Structure 1
Amino acid sequence: MDLNDAAVDLAGLDELLNDDERDVQRAVRTMAQSRIAPYVADWFERGTVDDPRGLVRELGELGVLGMHLTGYGCAGLSATEYGLTCLELEAVDSGIRSLVSVQGSLAMYALWRFGSEEVKTQWLPAMAAGDAVGCFGLTEPDHGSDPSGMTTRARRDGSDWVINGGKMWITNGSIADVAVIWAQTDEGIRGFAVPTSTPGFSAVEIRHKLSLRASITSELTMDEVRVPEECVFPEVRGLGGPLTCLAEARFGVVWGAMGAARTCLSTALRYAVERSQFGRPVAGFQLTQQKLADMELEYVKGMLLAMHLARRKDAGTLRSAQVSLGKLNNVREALEICRTARTILGANGISLEYPVIRHMNNLESVLTYEGTVEMHTLVIGKALTGIDAFR
């Protein structure tokens, strides 16, 4: 099985993979195409995912939840294999890749990297198996790009911690068993593993979205939520903790966006060849071929960048600014590929009978979550100039 659909693999990208990587990709694609693809347009239209807990368990059985982590029931696979997994999941829908990203690269990674041994043992094996769901609470209603201004607070009370505040736009929030919550304390920003069954914790699903509709998004509220000392992350202080987790998740976005782009490119190519106007296939017109060639070019460049960053991550040399390069470029170009594909399909491009408008709408969210275009631009600008222009 090629890295891409054969029709769009002009660059021979599949040759950059080894047999193990191809096997992982094949397994994820098979599951995604059989278990998710036939239903996801209906989920998107209805704004709900049927049996999300069951889907999480199936993904756990496949071994993709926290797959790049080691120990505690995690598969310990490579960054490249994780990237290919994100590619195949987002080729079906961004919301499904988000589910896996938040579970593995935000919630599980935070627990694995910063949690106490008791917390790791309690949650990670169940989360890897898909028997428990996690979410990651950083963004607040009034604090997105500047999380340092968060108003959620935690205070010591004897041997416990008491948390008050709210989080917004939290993927998996209303089905989660454990929430990673970041809060201001007298000791700086700290992280907590909060069981969602704790009194005072509530999660309400956010409705009326026109993007990521096949994804559960929630608002979290904490009213005097009391957790024991072992729930606090013992060592990490400040924004370094949550930002490290975000960099981990953004790496998956670099790959996932190219999955959405691949689906739209291959759909547009098939449509252009099959659709006739003025007595000939739409693909036979020069302007259409220019669109297809430009889409292919940007797709190949994005894939090469994703592969390069994955190899650096596997080698332990990947830097945060390099992840910003990938996230900024690949999501931006994937969105443009989807928009161009929409024009090739004409009026059919807005129908959910085809995947293009769904991917296009989804990528409008992916463009701004896990760091907006503006924020990643300034990260890259600082890396180039040495000057911090955030404030």
Structure 2
Amino acid sequence: MAETSLPAAAPTGGEKPRIHVACCFDARMAMPAGVLAASVAATTTDAHVTFYMLHAPGVSAQLQALKAALDSGDFTVIPCEVSGDRSDLTVNRQYPEAIYYRFFLPDIVPADRVIYLDTDMIVRRSLRELYEMDLGGAPLAATKDYALTSHMRDHGMPVVFRGAFIPVDDYCRDVLGLDLSQKDYFNTGILVMDLKLMREQQTMERCLAFCRENPGLVMSDQDAANHVVQGNFRQLDVRWNSFTYLYAEYFPEGGKRKGPDLFGGYGDSLQAPPGQWRDILTQWAFDPWVVHFAFQSKPWVGGHRRTAYDGEFWAHAARTPFLKELRRGLMTSTMRYGAWLAWYHNPVRAYLRQPHVKRAVRGAVCSVGVDRLRPRYRLKQLLGWMTGRGA
């Protein structure tokens, strides 16, 4: 069980219902989590919202500043520091320790239900109707993961498991025990969780056990949840978890995608899809209820794909104490991306523009007195040697 520092919950007031919302993060995602909280406060005005922010040590000061900015009669931020040893779980940069914090929600949140949200999201619609929905006896509600099925599987994109390329269907069947021809795989970006039922069935303890027994899962927390739930979830409207960036990958402006391929060489195989997948992409792009800035579509990171909803992210960021720091981070990462892009498109030119190379070239041209009479010849000779086209 996680060790937490949990303040007392704010009292319920007025006639509006109390709903409980949660997110989980470490220091790297603390500021985007603040923007998510601001978006919930701005859109869910028909309920009293208690927003639990489960976080790794080291961000308490930031969250106290956020709490001072957002707390009101209808919205309360409750920071919950999560500690404890989780060295037996797979952790890396893409999937940090904080992804496992959601498994501790039944122990931390003193309620029978909670809405969980990933921190790379903004909410555009009141969460009250989601919180009050009938789960029909299922432990959770979620959206089917169309990015895994209609996007990856149907275009032949494999997953990488323990160094091997495996078809999506084979991975789900052989590793997760989930037959996609009979049961659906859900995305854990947004979850309506029946905490009471999960406590009774020890759902989250079983998820953690599966993660420990199967190190190196492709998407550790999500794979474990799908293994345990086995398709027994209530499906949400796809607009509650909108991967808005994908529309431009299928329907690029001007017929050409901007920037490098995001999908390991499979980007060129993406064609304008017919039927249900086309309808889903259109809903995600033009009527998202929750925007999921998944994969390489984060507004605060330079070089990522841009969406029509980046402006809304920055508008919510302006209501937090993190706007200047987020902008500074965007500028820094954009400069780094620009340098990488120069190498990507023209590595020789990028190499020659580096200061130490420029100094070396000047030294080679002007090192001997007689060569000062023919610097252009010496430079041409040096460039030919560097590019392999000369002696």
TM-score by length of 2: 0.26
Normalized per residue, which structure has more helix?
1
* Pair member with larger Rg: 2
